[in-house]
Amino acid sequence: MQGVSAAGLVGAVLGLIVGWVDYRLVGGWVTRKLRETDRSTTSADKADYERRIGWFGRLWFMATVVPFPFVGYWLGRTIAG
């Protein structure tokens, strides 16, 4: 079994940074747009809408910040060895 590659670790850190930036920028933009479309008339509707936006944020985090370090590690190890 091979050890951990230094180039892979650098790629993983860069992937984490790219994933975090993507999460904040794209996720923030989508959340803002979703809040602009809120047509809730009651506080219960508003709470349900905010709950769904919260779920979107958690799912978006899992889709960006979690896999990007793995992709970065793989790219770093592939490109730089």
Q: Structure pTM?
A: 0.83
Whether 59 is in a domain gets the answer yes
Q: Which residue has the higher pLDDT, 1 or 81?
A: 81
Q: What is the pLDDT of residues 23-38, one digit of tens each?
A: 999 999 999 999 999 9
**Count of domains observed in the chain:** 1
Q: How far apart are CA 55 and CA 10, in angstroms?
A: 31
Across 11-31, average pLDDT: 97
Its domain, for residue 42, covers: 6-80
Whether 1 is in a domain gets the answer no
Phi–psi pair at 57, nearest 5 degrees: -60, -45
